[in-house]
């Protein structure tokens, strides 16, 4: 069985969650599947062992006046149809199959472009169109959560019938409980990931600025460096002394940060899964999450929830996490919740989907 993976997320450093999904699935199924990873440039993320790499000719930018290049692309597409006639197309991010009449699978990560277009602007419309075209052309859709699958059915009822749900896993970041945590004299809450738009990072700054925020509890931020605009916002809330940016870190270091944190804060207004929720639970870090359908699905009872549009409820949630008995109860529930998720299970279900589509 042959699968063509269009490797857009292997080429950047900001779609880490999606790269993680493909890396873990491909690593576990490469003995059963012949993978060809198509790359348009040098990868920025690791490639699983046993995976072939080929040039992604179909994603090279060609201007209208480059007639020869446009003709060559047409020829390349015809050759691709002959070279990979029976392969399944599986793009990492909604790029179209360059072949004609090929079989394809789409992984659906979220419906953020459809739900949050008022915040996102032009990129939302571009992503919405690319996603819809990919969904319509696919033989099967793999959604990473039931909430996302339900949202797909509400936006595009005709596409929901071909959808399976395959949740993500957490084993990539779990470390032995006896491992030494980050040594720090300060207590801190942890924020992980991008901070723009629907991620709702500002509400955390607003909460920290509250006089009711727990004394001496700082904020550690993992992700891109703080921009000048973010620095201005941090100064606006007068919390520069409480916010530390750790930058992007490796999994081992991130696990230590989770284990050393008082809590993990995820204030997002909209998500398709939220893998940091499982990462926090896997490292005995209490999640403090937006009270949304997706976080209720993923976290189960292993989290404290708050209204993501009211910073006062975030402060209250963080203060509740100080209660020793309540904290212990939530962390125990988080440990139990993890039994529902596994990269091994996800890989087995993706392999089943490949078999179904190949036999059509």
Residue 140 and residue 288 in one domain: no
Question: What residues have CB less than 8 Å from 160, skipping those under 6 apart?
Answer: 149, 152, 153
Do 109 and 229 belong together in one domain? no
Which pair of tokens denotes residue 46? 């690791």
**Do 140 and 289 sit in the same domain of this protein?**
no
Contact 87, 104 (CB under 8 A): no
Helix, strand, or coil (residue 247): strand
Sign for the pseudo-dihedral over CA of 154, 155, 157, 160: negative
Same domain? For 146 and 219 the reply is no
* 233 and 351 share one domain: no
Query: How many structural domains are present in the chain?
Result: 2
* CATH number of the domain within which 68 lies: 3.40.50.2000
Residue 98, domain extent: 2-169+342-359
Contacts with 352 (C-beta within 8 Å, 6 or more apart), sequence order: none
**CA 78, 3, 193, 42: dihedral to nearest 10 degrees?**
-60
Decide: 105 and 138 in contact? Cβ < 8 Å.
Answer: yes
Whether residues 347 and 259 share a domain: the answer is: no
The pLDDT confidence band at residue 74, using thresholds 50, 70 and 90, is: low
Residues 145 and 185 in one domain: no
158, two tokens: 């005709």
Residues 132 and 272 placed together within one structural domain of the fold: no
Average pLDDT rounded to a whole number, residues 257-279: 96
Q: What is residue 179's predicted lDDT score, i.e. its pLDDT? A: 52
Residues 12 and 144 in one domain: yes
- Residue 80 tokens, joined: 């691709």
pLDDT exceeds 80 at position 153:
yes
Q: Per-residue pLDDT tens for 75-110?
A: 666 667 778 889 999 999 999 888 877 899 999 999
User: Is 125 found in the same domain as 107?
Assistant: yes
Compute, in degrees rounded to 10, the torsion defined by CA atoms 330, 333, 339, 343: -10
159-193 pLDDT tens trace = 878 899 999 999 999 776 555 554 556 799 999 99
Residue 9 DSSP code: G
More confident of the two residues 150 and 75: 150
For residues 46 and 190, state if they share a domain: no
Task: Kindly report each contact of residues 349-352 with a partner whose C-beta sits within 8 Å and lies 24 or more positions away, as own/partner.
Answer: 349/164, 349/166, 350/25, 350/29, 350/142, 350/166, 351/29, 351/32, 351/33
Q: How far is CA 109 from the centre of its chain?
A: 7
Mean pLDDT, range 48-69, rounded to an integer: 77
3-state secondary structure 55-77: ECHHHCCCCCCCHHHHHHHHHHH
The answer to which of 21-30, 121-130, 134-143, 338-347 has the lowest mean pLDDT is 121-130
Residues 333, 346 share a domain: no
Enter the tokens of residue 141.
Answer: 């859709």
Residue 213 has pLDDT above 60, yes or no: yes
Q: Is 182 exposed, middle or buried (0-12, 13-18, 19+ CB in 10 A)?
A: middle
Contact 25, 48 (CB under 8 A): no
Backbone angles phi, psi at 65, to 5 degrees: -80, -10
Give the mean pLDDT of 326-341.
Answer: 96
Percent above pLDDT 90 for the chain: 79
């Amino acid at each position: 069985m042959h699968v063509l993976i269009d490797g857009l997320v292997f080429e950047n450093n900001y779609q880490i969650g999606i790269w993680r999904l493909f890396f873990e699935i491909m690593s576990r199924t490469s003995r059963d599947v012949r993978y060809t990873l198509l790359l348009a440039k040098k990868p920025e993320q690791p490639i699983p062992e046993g995976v072939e790499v080929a040039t992604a000719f179909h994603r090279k930018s060609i201007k209208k006046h480059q007639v020869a290049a446009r003709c060559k692309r047409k020829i390349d597409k015809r050759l691709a149809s002959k070279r990979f006639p029976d392969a399944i197309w599986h793009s990492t991010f909604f790029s179209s199959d360059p072949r004609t009449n090929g079989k394809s699978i789409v992984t659906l990560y979220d419906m953020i472009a459809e739900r949050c277009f008022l915040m996102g602007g032009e990129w939302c419309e571009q992503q919405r169109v690319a996603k819809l075209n990919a969904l319509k052309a696919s033989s099967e859709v793999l959604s990473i959560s039931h909430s996302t699958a339900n949202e797909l059915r509400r936006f595009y009822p005709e596409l929901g019938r071909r959808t399976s749900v395959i949740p993500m896993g957490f084993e990539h970041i779990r470390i032995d409980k006896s491992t030494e945590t980050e040594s720090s004299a300060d207590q801190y809450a942890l924020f992980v990931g991008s901070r723009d738009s629907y991620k709702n990072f500002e509400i955390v700054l607003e909460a920290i600025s509250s006089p009711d925020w727990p004394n001496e509890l700082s904020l550690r931020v993992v992700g891109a460096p703080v921009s000048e605009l973010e620095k201005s916002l941090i100064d606006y809330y007068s919390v520069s002394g409480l916010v530390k940016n750790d930058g992007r870190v490796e999994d081992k270091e991130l696990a230590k940060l989770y284990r050393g944190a008082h809590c993990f804060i995820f204030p997002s207004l909209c998500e398709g899964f939220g893998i940091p929720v499982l990462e926090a639970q896997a490292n005995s870090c209490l999640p403090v999450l937006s009270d949304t359908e997706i976080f209720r699905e993923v976290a189960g009872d292993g989290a404290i929830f708050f209204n993501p549009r009211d910073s006062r409820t975030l402060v209250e949630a963080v203060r509740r996490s100080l209660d020793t008995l309540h904290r212990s109860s939530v962390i125990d529930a988080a440990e139990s919740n993890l039994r529902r998720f596994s990269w091994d299970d996800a890989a087995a279900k993706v392999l089943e989907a490949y078999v179904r589509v190949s036999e059509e």
